[in-house]
Amino acid sequence: MNRLVITKKTELLTVAQVLELHPWPAPWANEKRIEKLWIHDLPGTPEALWPFISDTSRMNRALGTAEMTFVERGGKRYGSAKPGGVRHEWVEVPWNWVANQWLTSLRIYERGFFKAVWAVHMLEPIETGTRIYLYFGAIPRNMLAGAAIRIGFPSIERAYKRVLPALAAQLDRLRPDVLVLPPGPLTDVADHRLRTQQAVLVEQGLPKDCVDALIDFVRNGDDQDVHRIQIRERARVWKLPEQDLLRVALHATRAGLLTLSWDTVCPHCRGVRDENGTLSALQARSHCSACEIDFTTDTHESVEVTFRVHPSIRDVPDQLYCSAEPARKDHIRVQWTVPPGGNIKLAPKLKPGRYTAWRDRTGGWYLDVDADGEQTIRWAAHPEGTVVKADPTATIELVNDTADDNLFRIQEAKWSDHALRAGQLLGFQDFRDLFSEEYIGADVRLGVGEQTLLFTDVVGSTAFYASRGDPGAFIEIKRHFDEVFAIVAGHRGAVVKTIGDAVMATFGDPVDAVRASRKIHDTFHPTRADTPIRLRISLNTGPCIAVRLN
């Protein structure tokens, strides 16, 4: 097979032309099928529409499809649903897509109306915006199933005619209204508790705008948004200071409105594999059944910290209406399973930056996209870490010279900066003050990324203790601790511990550490008369792990 999937057309494509670009996979290609092609011209660019079109879980919910359940076993994903009260079970084959351009999905059914379903979504730029092609093909299990499928297609078509224009009219929003489902009302008890704690949090001196935004989200947020609250993302959406919102979330957790979750994340698919309600429950190793790999938690990106609504306030299920691979794996810009002997060319139009190229989870060479790169890239088995430069408009050729299907991926090397990493929370003073009982398991080496450690040392401490005596010296040391702690907290750092009369603190940003050091020096200046304490300070920056020793 040799296909070139680089098109920009203005005439309408037919079913045959769509399937020439994205043919049914073997062995289903020659089966008798029922198929539909719906074409919609919408305002907005493919880049603006893609995040919503590719989020097929939210789309399907808006379209009125049944909720789905997925489990992963032996490297395969199994789905089930009960549309119209009839149970369907299938194998969810890995999707293919090129971000902002198209996606395809195949389901092989073990139970229900179908033998297989093939779906193709294509986004094509036109003068007035974007032309979307929606192809659905179904191979019925029997004549009765075929009749049910034919009856069902018109209702799906009507739903798309309702949803797509409403979606395109609100592309300037984080979430168009048509894709949002408000929750039901809280119980009287939960509502009273939420209002009471909202007032308490404000009385404690926490920022009212942050408290109000978080409480409103807990009460009215869509289940699919509230199920796993990422505080850094929320701060950007609400245009609130990240540190302030994190403080509010931590205090709300202590008040029993939220819970904390330490989530292990697969380094390949970046999906959540384990959710741990306490830091001590976090294990040294985890497993991704979808990627069939084991991984450790000693890297910076391996653990994300998220918040959940406490079940006593609101039950927020993790509802899915589709596996929605492209939306749930947004870092993967190209994913394509190429059959044996396949040779495929594509133009993914990647933004400048660094990407990692994988072939069946092997390789790991880098694709650096910039204006000085090559116009044509032929996939090769480069040693891990090799850097290949590509122009943003480059054509990339995927070649499978093996006897088995090969899954090719091009994914962003940079991880999302929406995630709250373990190191950021462990280096946050409010967390250490509010959750001092949290501890790391004895065998865990928790990656916390680059940290800047600050150490203080009292100058002439031996002579100081001798001249003041232990009681007097202790009072002065305690006073100086209070001042140093306040300075560290005021510069977005956290005190890890004291060592005798010394302080050890950590900062996520080295600039904050330098500014805190300057403030400490200025505070304990040589001419200060109310205390004899003078301090030396040392700083050290580098990658760190957090462990529990002694």
Q: Which two tokens stand for residue 331?
A: 């870092």
**What pLDDT does 4 receive?**
47
Q: Which pLDDT tens digit goes with each residue over 476-493?
A: 889 999 999 999 999 999
List C-alpha distances in Å: 456 to 488, 502, 514, 533: 11, 5, 13, 11
Indicate whether 474 pLDDT > 60. yes
Q: Which pLDDT tens digit goes with each residue over 324-348?
A: 999 999 999 999 999 999 999 999 9
Question: Nearest CA to 297 among 283, 318, 280?
Answer: 283
DSSP secondary structure string, 292-310? TEEEES-STTSEEEEEEE-
Q: Are 74 and 189 in contact (CB under 8 A)?
A: no
Q: Are 445 and 298 in contact (CB under 8 A)?
A: yes
Q: Are 104 and 96 in contact (CB under 8 A)?
A: yes
Q: Are 379 and 362 in contact (CB under 8 A)?
A: no
Residue range 149-156: mean pLDDT, rounded: 93
Determine how many CB atoms are found less than 10 A away from the CB of residue 542. 8
**What pLDDT does 500 receive?**
87
Q: Are 250 and 430 in contact (CB under 8 A)?
A: yes
Q: Which pLDDT tens digit goes with each residue over 207-254?
A: 999 999 999 999 999 999 999 999 999 999 999 999 999 999 999 999
Share of the chain above pLDDT 70, in %: 98
For residue 27, cis peptide bond before it (omega within 30 degrees of 0): yes
Indicate whether 132 pLDDT > 60. yes
**What pLDDT does 300 receive?**
87
The residue among 325 and 8 whose pLDDT is bigger is 325
Look at the pTM and tell me if it is higher than 0.95: no
Residue corresponding to tokens 């007032």: 199
**What pLDDT does 10 receive?**
64
List all residues 6 or more positions away from 207 whose beta carbon is below 8 Å from its beta carbon.
240, 241, 244, 247, 248
DSSP 291: T
Determine which of 126-140, 212-226, 292-306 has the lowest per-residue pLDDT on average: 292-306
Q: Give the ranges where 177-307 is alpha helix by DSSP (H).
A: 188-203, 208-220, 223-226, 231-238, 242-254
Q: Which two tokens stand for residue 148?
A: 């049910």
Determine which of 185-194, 253-262, 287-296 has the lowest per-residue pLDDT on average: 287-296
**What pLDDT does 367 receive?**
95
Question: Nearest CA to 503 among 515, 494, 491, 492?
Answer: 494
**What pLDDT does 364 receive?**
83
Q: What span, in angstroms and rounded, lies between the C-alpha atoms of 273 and 290?
A: 10
Question: Nearest CA to 334 among 417, 407, 414?
Answer: 407
Share of the chain above pLDDT 90, in %: 75
Q: Are 443 and 284 in contact (CB under 8 A)?
A: yes
Q: Is 436 exposed, middle or buried (0-12, 13-18, 19+ CB in 10 A)?
A: exposed
- Mean of the per-residue pLDDT values of the chain: 92
